[in-house]
Amino acid sequence: MGERRWAVAVHGGAGTEVPKNKADDDALRGGIEAALAAAAAILARPEVPSVYCGAPRHLAAAVAAVEILEANPLYNAGTGAVLNDAGKVENEASVMDGATLRIGAVTGLTTVVYPVRLALLIHLKASHKFIGFRSAERYADSFPDLIERRANETFITEKRRAAQQRAAKGAGPHGARDLVDVVGETVGAVVFDAMNGGMLACATSTGGVTNKMAGRIGDTPVVGAGSYASNGLCALSGTGMGEEFLRLAAASRICGMMEYGKRSLRDSMHHVVHDIFPADTGGFIGVDAEGEIVMDGNSPYMARGSRDSDGKSFVGLKM
């Protein structure tokens, strides 16, 4: 077995409930497998498909994995995202290239089918790197061939509509934490590519929390909170109660512990998730500069999986 050439991990969200039957369980696992396969397909070839607009391979692979989960109506991102208190889907996403620390982030999307693709285009082409709401939709208008659009209603599934209506009845206007069905679902991917000494990237996408106040911005588009990637350290993608990730600058905290405290990714993530997070906050997937994958969380459920060039693979739902 030679040097590890690549490694990828994906998550499909953390929560407080585990799937209730085998069909749901199988479908969720299948989604994770498909996302891993999409990233692996890109990492196995020298050329990056041109739809990624010149993104480096490690970043394209992370985006490809997230797009698979955005398209899957079971996961809370893109199609199938949770509804806000206005009964609409309002999606957000981000990407980061650990080679350059360049980011792209977007929030408040209502018509973009693949939010992470718009985050990638912001990363690659925009002079600003975090764009929100109607202006983000207008920015999407400038890429009619690259950014697929649909009416907001087409993102909505029956399951999400019912969950929002339950939350709206029980929780008042803005959805108290304990009344949300499944906390903090999000999707994300982290990638290690050994090319050029070790490249790292992350991509994350979400619809936020059920019955969220319209206009709420979570941790997913905030690099340093819900994600971070820095060559030589790690790439991270988080899932859970966004407000906790934001106030703790959770992803940046893990990186700071590694960079300035000289601790491993495993120790740093464990410290943040188990010593600093309040109970049931969520967790992270991460990969370090040698391609070692770490996935940890403090909620009962976190859909996640990993695969690497050595042939190792894993998929799990319970923590």
CA distance 85 to 189: 28
By CB under 8 A, residue 75 contacts its own copies: no
Interface stretch with its own copies, choices 60-68, 104-112, 184-192, 231-239 (CB under 8 A) = 104-112
By CB under 8 A, residue 107 contacts its own copies: yes
* Interacting positions 167-196 with its own copies (CB under 8 A): 174-177
Binding residue for its own copies, selected from 22, 127, 151, 279, defined by CB under 8 A: 127
Sequence-distant (≥ 6) Cβ neighbours of residue 52 within 8 angstroms: 59, 60, 63, 64, 120
Of 227, 210, 228, 208, give the one whose Cα is nearest residue 218: 208
Inter-residue contact 229 to 201 (CB < 8 Å):
yes
Q: Do β-strands 102-109 and 130-132 pair in parallel, antiparallel, or remain unpaired?
A: parallel
By CB under 8 A, residue 314 contacts its own copies: no
Inter-residue contact 82 to 207 (CB < 8 Å):
yes
Q: Which residue has the tokens 């996302």?
A: 35
Interface stretch with its own copies, choices 43-51, 111-119, 150-158, 256-264 (CB under 8 A) = 256-264
CA distance 26 to 48: 31
Minimum distance from residue 3 beta carbon to its own copies (Å): 29
Of 139 and 284, nearer to its own copies (C-beta) is 139
Of 225, 184, 228, give the one whose Cα is nearest residue 208: 184
By CB under 8 A, residue 133 contacts its own copies: yes
Of 204, 227, 202, 206, give the one whose Cα is nearest residue 216: 206
By CB under 8 A, residue 126 contacts its own copies: yes
Binding residue for its own copies, selected from 19, 73, 207, 224, defined by CB under 8 A: 224
Minimum distance from residue 212 beta carbon to its own copies (Å): 6
Binding residue for its own copies, selected from 136, 265, 285, 287, defined by CB under 8 A: 136
By CB under 8 A, residue 132 contacts its own copies: yes
Minimum distance from residue 78 beta carbon to its own copies (Å): 20
By CB under 8 A, residue 48 contacts its own copies: no
Catalytic residue status for 107: no
By CB under 8 A, residue 247 contacts its own copies: yes
Of 49 and 261, nearer to its own copies (C-beta) is 261
CA distance 253 to 107: 23
Minimum distance from residue 206 beta carbon to its own copies (Å): 14
Question: Using a CB cutoff of 8 Å and minimum separation of 24, what contacts does 86-91 make?
Answer: 86/214, 87/161, 87/164, 88/152, 88/214, 89/152, 89/155, 89/156, 89/160, 89/207, 90/207, 90/208, 90/212, 90/214, 90/215, 90/216, 91/115, 91/155, 91/205, 91/206, 91/207, 91/208
Minimum distance from residue 167 beta carbon to its own copies (Å): 12
Binding residue for its own copies, selected from 223, 233, 287, 293, defined by CB under 8 A: 223
Minimum distance from residue 197 beta carbon to its own copies (Å): 20
CA distance 136 to 81: 18
Catalytic residue among 79, 107, 110, 186: 186
By CB under 8 A, residue 238 contacts its own copies: no
Cα end-to-end span (Å), the chain: 29
The residue ranges that bind its own copies (CB under 8 A) are 96, 101-103, 105, 107-108, 126-136, 138-139, 174-177, 212-218, 222-225, 228, 243, 246-249, 251-253, 255-257, 259-261, 263
Q: Show which residues are catalytic.
A: 186
